[in-house]
Each structure stands twice: as C-alpha cells, then as structure tokens.
C-alpha cells in the first residue's frame, strides 16, 4: 500500500487539487486531478484511480485508467481504459470504456459499451466484452480490505518501542521542535504520545530533523484531534518524505496547514491539507479533504515486523521457563 499508492481512503474524498500517483477511494469522490506523474507511478494491478462509490465534480484522470463502482458525471479520462459500474454522463473517456448502466453524452476515444446510449455518435465503435486489462483492474479493485490493512499497520507501528536515544527538543520559546536520534538497523522510532499537545500546538512554527541517515523513521501519536501548522526546515519535507511515517493512531481528525513531509496514516479518521499545503509523501486515511497537492514519494524504508522485547522481558521469560521446568520435574517425580 505504501509503495503502490499515493492516496488510499476507505471513505469519501473531496478535492480541489491534484494527486501525483495512484489513488484508491472506497467511498465517493468529488473533484480532483489524479495521476499527474504517470511515468513515476509504481507498477500495480490497480487502475490509476479506483473508486467504490460515485465520481463527480470535474474530475481528471491523466493516466492508467479508472475503475468506478457507481455513477460518473463530468469526468475526463485522458489516458487508459475505464470500467464504470453505474451510469456515465457528460464525460470524456479516452481509450476503451465499459459502462454497466446507461451512457449519456459521452465523448470516447475508442470502443465503448453501455446498456443504452443517448446523445452519442457511436459509428459502430461498440465494445463487445470487457478487455483483459479491465478485468484485471476490476479484480484488483475488490481484492484488498484497505481498512484492515491501515488499522493493522497502525497497530503494528504503535506497538514499537521508542528508539533509545531518540529525543524531541524544544527551543526558541517552543517555536522550534527538533527530532534527533540514531537508528537501529536503519529504523528510528519516536514515541510522541506524551508530547502530542506540545509538539502540535499552535505555537510550534518549525520542525527540524537530525536523523543521522536513518532509512525508516516512525512517529507514533495518540491524540484524538491534531492540527499542524509547523514548517519543515531546510527542505526536509521533500528530502525526507519517502522515509517518514506519521502514525496518528486513534486520531479522529488531522489537519495540516503547511507543507508536510512523509506518509500520513490516519487509519480511523479524516485528514485535511488546507491553505494549499502540499504533502510530500502519501495519505492513508478514512476520509480526505484535499486543498493542496499530494506529491508522489513512495515509502522506501523497511518496517520492523514486531517490537524487540526489552532485556527485563527476556529475564522474566527465562524465569518463567525455569519455573515451568521445575513444576514439570516435580510432577514427573
């Protein structure tokens, strides 16, 4: 998910901006410009835009086609094939298009199929069956429960211990927050659960990073509502976007008002980028209100499968095993 998709939302999306890479939306989509960077988008069985519900509001899909479960209206697909599970109206569909319902006022570039046609000039360009590519993207569209994937990932990350030596320092009257630490096997984990309200307060103006070459950096939080307006200093949002994961576990809403770097995980809440704030990374949330660009920076790090037990945990485990062995020997005697 973190590598093939630029956006995954299990609910609805409202957008006035664009997404560089591939998007999956379980609910409805209103507005937006998708797959801006076709050649940079990683390969996948999924279409450029997959929508479980309806698609409307002057949407543009620039490449890799789309799969939509419901109706579409006012849509432009510039490249790729389209599979539409409902009705299609007032849209332009380049490439082949399969419309399960009725097609009304559709401009199409190649072959099309629909249950009925109005306000169209077919010229015998009727598609007799879905293409193999349509079948492939349609099968992919229902192959994964992304809600389970996101909540599972969030729980996995939340279980990780903060890396020894990882520190959060405040300076300039709390205006600047500096994240520092040395990775263990390339992974650096910050436990922010006791510092959420201070780090993400309205007085915080700058985020600074001293990560010493870490390839994977995880930030765990647990506040219900977070608003972030801090700037990432020195172009760090762009430089670190593919390495950072912000796990907003338990958050019902997260709002950013300045350029933000990293993969944003809000498994059970909404994410909003307002005031034209760009995201240098990916957005994985329950719902999305997009008023800034989401730039493609696929995750390049490695996720640890489980936290490593602390030394005292090992001691307790060994003591327990010793006690079990003693009890077994006594029972045998």
Contact by Cβ (8 Å): 302, 186? yes
What is the distance between the alpha carbons of residues 147 and 108, in angstroms, rounded to a whole number? 34
- Note the residue count of the chain: 333
pLDDT of residue 224: 94
pLDDT of residue 123: 84
What is the distance between the alpha carbons of residues 174 and 163, in angstroms, rounded to a whole number? 23
DSSP 70: S
Strands 176-180 and 116-118 turn out to be: unpaired
Q: What is the pLDDT of residues 252-291, one digit of tens each?
A: 999 999 999 999 999 999 999 999 999 999 999 999 999 9
CA dihedral 248, 141, 87, 109 (to 10 degrees): 110
Neighbour-count burial for 261-298, b at 16+ CB within 10 Å, e otherwise: bbbbbbbbbbbbbeeebbbbbbbbbbbbbbebbbbbbb
pLDDT of residue 304: 82
pLDDT of residue 139: 97
pLDDT of residue 54: 98
pTM: 0.90
Neighbours of 112 (CB within 10 A): 23
Picking from 219, 211, 276, the residue whose alpha carbon sits closest to that of residue 240 is 211
Q: What is the pLDDT of residues 204-219, one digit of tens each?
A: 999 999 999 899 999 9
Picking from 146, 150, 184, 174, the residue whose alpha carbon sits closest to that of residue 307 is 184
Long-range CB contacts (within 8 A, 24+) of 151-154? 151/267, 151/268, 153/1, 153/247, 153/265, 153/267, 153/303, 154/247, 154/249, 154/265, 154/267, 154/268
Per-residue pLDDT of the chain (333 residues; tens, 9 = 90+): 999 999 999 999 999 999 999 999 999 999 999 999 999 999 999 999 999 999 999 999 999 999 999 999 999 999 999 999 999 999 999 999 999 999 999 999 999 999 999 999 898 899 999 999 999 999 999 999 999 999 999 999 999 999 999 999 999 998 999 999 999 999 999 999 999 889 998 889 999 999 998 999 999 999 999 999 999 999 999 999 999 999 999 899 999 999 999 999 999 999 999 999 999 999 999 999 999 999 999 999 998 875 545 555 555 555 555 555 655 555 555
pLDDT of residue 271: 98
pLDDT of residue 196: 85
């Amino acid at each position: 998910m973190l590598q093939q998709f630029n956006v995954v939302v299990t609910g609805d999306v409202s957008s006035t901006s664009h997404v560089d890479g591939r998007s999956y939306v379980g609910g409805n989509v209103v507005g937006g410009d998708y797959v801006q960077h076709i050649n940079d988008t990683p390969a996948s069985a999924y279409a450029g835009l997959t929508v479980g519900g309806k698609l409307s509001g002057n949407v543009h899909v620039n490449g890799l086609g789309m799969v939509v479960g419901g109706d579409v209206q006012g849509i432009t697909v510039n490249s790729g094939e389209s599979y539409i599970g409902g009705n299609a109206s007032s849209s332009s569909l380049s490439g082949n298009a399969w419309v399960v319902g009725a097609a009304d006022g559709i401009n199409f570039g190649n072959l099309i199929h629909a249950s009925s046609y109005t306000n169209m000039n077919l010229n015998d360009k009727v598609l007799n069956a879905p293409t193999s590519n349509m079948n492939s993207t349609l099968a992919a569209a229902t192959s994964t429960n992304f809600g389970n994937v996101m909540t599972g990932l969030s729980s996995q990350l939340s279980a990780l211990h903060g890396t020894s030596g990882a520190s959060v320092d405040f300076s300039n009257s709390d205006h600047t927050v500096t994240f520092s630490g040395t990775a263990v096997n390339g992974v650096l984990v910050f436990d922010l659960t006791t510092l959420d309200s201070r780090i993400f307060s309205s007085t915080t103006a700058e985020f600074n990073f001293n990560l010493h070459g870490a390839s994977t950096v995880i930030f765990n939080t647990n506040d219900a509502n977070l608003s972030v307006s801090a700037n990432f200093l020195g172009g760090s949002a762009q430089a670190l976007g593919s390495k950072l994961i912000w796990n907003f576990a338990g958050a019902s809403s997260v709002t950013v008002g300045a350029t933000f770097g990293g993969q944003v995980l809000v498994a059970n809440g909404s994410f909003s980028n307002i005031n034209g704030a760009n995201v240098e990374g990916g957005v994985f949330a329950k719902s999305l209100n997009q008023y800034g660009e989401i730039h493609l920076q696929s995750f390049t790090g490695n996720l640890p499968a489980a936290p490593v037990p602390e030394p005292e945990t090992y001691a307790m485990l060994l003591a327990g095993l010793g006690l079990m062995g003693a009890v077994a020997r006594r029972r045998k005697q």
